[in-house]
Amino acid sequence: MADISASAPPSPTTSIGATLRKRAFSSPSDTALTVIVFGILLWLAWTLFDWAILRAIWSAENVDQCGKGTGAGACWAVIDARHRLILFGLYPFDQHWRSTLAAVAIIATVILSCIPLMWTARRIVTLWIVGFATYYLLMEGSLIGLQQVTTDGWGGLSLTLFLFSSVVLLGMPMGLGLALMRRSKMPFVRGFAVVLIDFVRSLPLLVTLFTAAVVIPIILPSWLEGDKIWRVIIAFALFFACYQAEVFRGGFQAIPKGQFEAGAALGLSYWQTLGRIVLPQVFRHALPSTINMVVITFKETALVIIIGFFDIMASAKAAFGTGEWAPHYLEVYVFVALIYWAFIFSLGQYGEYLKGRMAISER
Amino acid sequence: MSKADELRRKAKQRRFFIQAALVGLSGFAVAGAFMTARTNLEAQGLTSGFGFLERSTGWDYSFSLVEKSIMDPYAQTLFVGFLNTLFVGFIAIFLTTLFGFIIGTARDASNIAVKSAATVYVQVFRNIPLILQLVFLYAVLINLPGPRQAMSMADTFFLSNRGLMMPGLSVTPGVAVALLLASIVLGVVLIWNKQPLLRGLLIWMGGSILLSLIVAAIMRPEGEALVSIPSLQGLRFRGGITVPIELFGMIVAITLYGSAYIAEVVRGGLAQVPRGLTEAGQALGLSTGQIWSRIKMPMALRSIIPPLGNQWIFMMKATTIGVAIGFSDLFYIVSISITQSGQTLELIAILAGAFLLVNGGLAVFTNWLNARMELKAH
């Protein structure tokens, strides 16, 4: 039998040096891996920094002042020249302040919704209705005595934010309704919800939106048809609701049956038990997945370019598509990608943070 | 009758009325939609029905795996679109799963550099809309130099604004599809056999390559090399396989985006494996690779497969964005057919039916896979 001699217990130090030794340079092959991978990362970061900052041209009278070819840096002058088109689309030029304020209202609504102080049913619903109404009144204008701009004239980032917020605002109650129907003891009500949810979920979003844009005018009488934008928003909200209903269903499954029975034993009605006891817990459980759904919805709004809306991607295309700035499509796409990335990354990180916090509180 | 019976009877009545109202309203809505559609279509002078499927289309499109012409009937053109969707979908599913597992494992690595590289990858590609990535990539691809100045790698792979030229076996497209199917069947058989993870993968890849080589050696056209390598002759490339930029863009964009998502699924699965199991493996003197393939991955797979199946279905649905760059997937073909023929309702029904079929099939496959992986009760 091998002789096992006693040795000192491993020291519980967590100094940076010790961590690095363990997680970057633990063996020769580990060291080689670290050096190669970090080398590639650094090279990528440097190339990007060199292109986007060091050799970039920030403002230019016209496109000729930007360098051409592979040696040239980024020409951010294209953003300087075209940012109004990208952000506001075809909205009347002298009214852009309204579009700015309206976009700020939606962004503020989203940020405020992330604060736990707002998490009561009344506050969050009021917040979203106020935020959305502010947006609509400012953009449309005629109701508050400003120049009227119909939805055809909305575009760019503001339109993307409008689609996003109206889909979430309409889809959330629809999703809750579908989740409740799916839990119902009445076979026809449950069957209706199951068929609708599974059907919509197995179709691509584009097919749903396309159907709303081209099929609804055929099967609905013209007085019910409505604007194309509202048809698409309602179809998008239905899509959101069918996924969100599954998120709520997960939340319901986390609630012990005793909670319903306790409500019944106290003599509360179905709606009282639901509203006062069950739903607050369901929302809490469903919160991380709900944020995930909201993030996905924000990403998917980019699809509306295909059915002919002038959202931020379409306006980006228009920004370099007019000939003069055509060589600098890369800068425009990077700019739009950064906008999307900033929104989605921060919301996603917030979701992760909440998940972590809830995992701790449930230990 | 007691009070309780009275209440119960009333509740039963209410449930009946709610359901009757729901069924009645749905029936009314469907009937109304049907009637309106008929009047609207009659007003436009359109005849409904599937007779148009036999008419020839008269228009061309970008990509097809089989011979195509503008004289093809609608039915055949739609089928080509369906094949293209399946083709891109399955390639994307294969590549995203492969890269997703590699990157997800890297996210779980103990080496800091590997872990940060994987984190950067996931955070960049997951947080930008897929369609933006696709349109972005496509803009870069069409602005690449022409074939004569193509970027080349080892003089066998060439990337230009015409697409990616790469070496390939000298077989006809029909044989290639048959080989692909054979490879899928081999994979399913190996899963059914419950082969250990690494051995299964090795047998599958080795078997597929060997089979392809043997079949290519027998079936290749007279006087051609076993593997044909593209080479520049005059203004264009000859030999090898040409992947057109639309197809190349679709595959790369979906793979970048989807693998970032699958990497997160894999990381989540690996994170659920108790630490004690890894430590037990270390105590037994297993190598990192052995711990991964014998302990962590088999445990993690059980929680990875259900969300992985959802990602596969997502990938299949994501092929519809091909319309943004003119790749002729089923959605693209259907939307052109609608503008050309006006048979909106029929074409949308075909489109929805095709997706229900494919996604239903994928869901069945995932459930089967899940059942195979489940621990049997002792």
Nearest to B241 by CA among B315, B158, B311, B335: B158
Instruction: Indicate left, alpha or beta for A311 from its phi (over 0: left) and psi (-120 to 50: alpha).
Output: beta
Does the pLDDT at position B289 exceed 60? Answer: yes
Round the average pLDDT of chain A to a whole number and report it: 84
A residues 147-166 closer than 8 Å to B (CB): none
Domain ranges of chain A: 77-361
Q: Do A34 and B120 touch (CB under 8 A)?
A: no
Chain A residue at shortest CA distance from B20: A188
Does the pLDDT at position A70 exceed 60? Answer: no
Please give the residue that has the higher pLDDT: either B182 or A55: B182
What pairs with residue B169 in β-bridges?
A: B227
Chain B positions in Cβ-Cβ contact with residue A33 (cut-off 8 Å): 111, 113-114
Chain B residue at shortest CA distance from A218: B37
Task: Give the pLDDT mean for B31-56.
Answer: 79
Does the pLDDT at position A213 exceed 50? Answer: yes
- Using alpha carbons, list the distances in angstroms from residue A218 to A134, A222, B10, B34, B95: 34, 9, 42, 9, 40
A345 at B interface, C-beta within 8 A: yes
Report the distance separating Cα A161 and Cα B363, nearest Å.
Answer: 34
Instruction: Write the residue in A38, A306, A333 that is nearest to B113 by C-beta.
Output: A38
DSSP, collapsed to helix, strand or coil, labels residue A7 as coil
Name the fold adopted by A77-361: MetI-like fold (1.10.3720)
Q: Do A186 and B313 touch (CB under 8 A)?
A: no
A vs B, Cβ pairs < 8 A, gives: 142
Does the pLDDT at position B225 exceed 80? Answer: no
Chain B positions in Cβ-Cβ contact with residue A329 (cut-off 8 Å): 139, 143
Chain B positions in Cβ-Cβ contact with residue A218 (cut-off 8 Å): 36-37, 40-41, 344-345
Q: Do A204 and B331 touch (CB under 8 A)?
A: yes
Chain B positions in Cβ-Cβ contact with residue A345 (cut-off 8 Å): 123, 127
Does the pLDDT at position B64 exceed 90? Answer: no
Q: Tokens for B101?
A: 């597992």
Q: Tokens for B245?
A: 């930029």
A residues 298-317 closer than 8 Å to B (CB): 299-300, 302-303, 305-306, 313, 317
A207 at B interface, C-beta within 8 A: yes
Q: Tokens for B195?
A: 């082969």
A218 at B interface, C-beta within 8 A: yes
Task: Give the pLDDT mean for B250-260.
Answer: 94
Residue A13's pLDDT is what? Answer: 63
Task: Give the pLDDT mean for A110-126.
Answer: 85
A41 at B interface, C-beta within 8 A: yes
Residue B249's pLDDT is what? Answer: 92
Rounded to a whole number of angstroms, the distance from the CA of B231 to the nearest CA of chain A is 26
For residue A361, what pLDDT band results from cuts at 50, 70 and 90? low
Q: Tokens for A24?
A: 């970057």
Chain B positions in Cβ-Cβ contact with residue A313 (cut-off 8 Å): 131-132, 135
Chain B positions in Cβ-Cβ contact with residue A215 (cut-off 8 Å): 344-345, 348
Task: Give the pLDDT mean for B284-298.
Answer: 88
Chain B residue at shortest CA distance from A333: B136
Does the pLDDT at position A324 exceed 70? Answer: yes
Q: Do B127 and A189 touch (CB under 8 A)?
A: no
Q: Do B41 and A22 touch (CB under 8 A)?
A: no
- pLDDT above 70 covers a percentage of chain B that reads 97
Backbone angles phi, psi at B64, to 5 degrees: -150, 145
Chain B residue at shortest CA distance from A212: B348
For residue A11, what pLDDT band results from cuts at 50, 70 and 90? low
Does the pLDDT at position A15 exceed 90? Answer: no
**How confident is the model over B334-378, as pLDDT tens digits?**
988 888 888 888 899 999 999 999 999 998 888 888 887 776 544
**How confident is the model over A168-181, as pLDDT tens digits?**
989 999 999 999 99
Chain A positions in Cβ-Cβ contact with residue B110 (cut-off 8 Å): 22-23, 26
Residue B144's pLDDT is what? Answer: 83
Q: Tokens for A269?
A: 């009605």
Nearest to A212 by CA among A303, A316, A135: A303
**In this structure, CATH architecture of domain B74-135+244-373:** Orthogonal Bundle (1.10)
Q: Do B113 and A24 touch (CB under 8 A)?
A: yes
Does the pLDDT at position A195 exceed 50? Answer: yes
Does the pLDDT at position B154 exceed 80? Answer: no
The per-residue DSSP string of A305-355 comes to: GGGT--BHHHHHHHHHHTSTTGGGHHHHHHHHHHHHHHHHHHHHHHHHHHH
Report the distance separating Cα A63 and Cα A48, nearest Å.
Answer: 22
For residue A12, what pLDDT band results from cuts at 50, 70 and 90? low
Q: What amino acid occupies position A156?
A: G
Task: Give the pLDDT mean for A327-335.
Answer: 85
Rounded to a whole number of angstroms, the distance from the CA of A144 to the nearest CA of chain B is 35
**Sign for the pseudo-dihedral over CA of A318, A320, A325, A327:** negative
Does the pLDDT at position B258 exceed 90? Answer: yes
- Of the ranges A231-245, B72-86, B158-172, B233-247, the best mean pLDDT one: A231-245
Q: What is the CA angle B271-B276-B277, rounded to 5?
A: 75
What pairs with residue B97 in β-bridges?
A: none
Does the pLDDT at position A2 exceed 70? Answer: no
Round the average pLDDT of chain B to a whole number and report it: 85
Q: Kindly state the DSSP code that residue A51 receives in the 8-state scheme.
A: I
**How confident is the model over A273-309, as pLDDT tens digits?**
988 888 888 888 888 889 889 999 999 999 988 888 8
Q: Tokens for B221?
A: 């056209």
Chain A residue at shortest CA distance from B16: A186
Does the pLDDT at position A363 exceed 60? Answer: no
Rounded to a whole number of angstroms, the distance from the CA of B185 to the nearest CA of chain A is 25
Residue A322's pLDDT is what? Answer: 67
Does the pLDDT at position B235 exceed 80? Answer: no
Using CB atoms within 10 Å of the CB of residue A252, give its burial: 0 to 12 exposed, 13 to 18 middle, 19+ buried: middle
DSSP, collapsed to helix, strand or coil, labels residue A66 as coil
Instruction: Write the residue in B36, B320, B345 that is nearest to A221 by C-beta.
Output: B36
Nearby residues of B327 by Cβ (< 8 Å), 6 or more positions away? B62, B63, B84, B88, B246, B247, B249, B250
Rounded to a whole number of angstroms, the distance from the CA of B132 to the nearest CA of chain A is 7
Q: Do B352 and A210 touch (CB under 8 A)?
A: no
Task: Give the pLDDT mean for A312-327.
Answer: 77
Q: Tokens for A215?
A: 């099929």
Q: Do A344 and B128 touch (CB under 8 A)?
A: yes
- The Cβ of residue A100 has, within 10 Å, a number of other Cβ atoms equal to 16
Q: Tokens for A278?
A: 């069950």
Of the given ranges (A113-117, A144-148, B289-293, B332-336), which has the lowest mean pLDDT?
A: A144-148
Residue B34's pLDDT is what? Answer: 81
Maximum distance among all alpha carbons in chain B?
Answer: 98
Task: Give the pLDDT mean for A39-54.
Answer: 88
Report the distance separating Cα B331 and Cα A210, nearest Å.
Answer: 10
Residue A45's pLDDT is what? Answer: 92
Rounded to a whole number of angstroms, the distance from the CA of B87 to the nearest CA of chain A is 17
The per-residue DSSP string of A254-323 comes to: TS-HHHHHHHHHTT--HHHIIIIIIHHHHHHHHHHHHHHHHHHHHHHGGGGGGGT--BHHHHHHHHHHTS
> What does the H/E/C string look like for chain B?
CCHHHHHHHHHHHHHHHHHHHHHHHHHHHHHHHHHHHHHHHHHCCCCCCCHHHHCECCCCCCCCCCCCCCCCEHHHHHHHHHHHHHHHHHHHHHHHHHHHHHHHHHHCCCCHHHHHHHHHHHHHHHCCCHHHHHHHHHHHHHCCCCHHHCEEECCCEEEECCEEEECEECCCHHHHHHHHHHHHHHHHHHHHCCCCHHHHHHHHHHHHHHHHHHHHHHHCCCCCCCEECCEEECCEEECCEEECHHHHHHHHHHHHHHHHHHHHHHHHHHHCCCHHHHHHHHHCCCCHHHHHHHHHHHHHHHHHHHHHHHHHHHHHHHHHHHHHCCCCCHHHHHHHHHHHHCCHHHHHHHHHHHHHHHHHHHHHHHHHHHHHHCCCCC
Does the pLDDT at position B96 exceed 60? Answer: yes
DSSP, collapsed to helix, strand or coil, labels residue A57 as strand
Residue B378's pLDDT is what? Answer: 43
Report the distance separating Cα A234 and Cα A166, nearest Å.
Answer: 9
Residue A3's pLDDT is what? Answer: 64
Nearest to B373 by CA among B307, B300, B290: B300
Chain A positions in Cβ-Cβ contact with residue B313 (cut-off 8 Å): 202
Rounded to a whole number of angstroms, the distance from the CA of B315 to the nearest CA of chain A is 10
Residue A342's pLDDT is what? Answer: 92
Chain A residue at shortest CA distance from B117: A41
A220 at B interface, C-beta within 8 A: yes
Nearest to A170 by CA among A247, A242, A277: A242
Does the pLDDT at position A244 exceed 90? Answer: yes
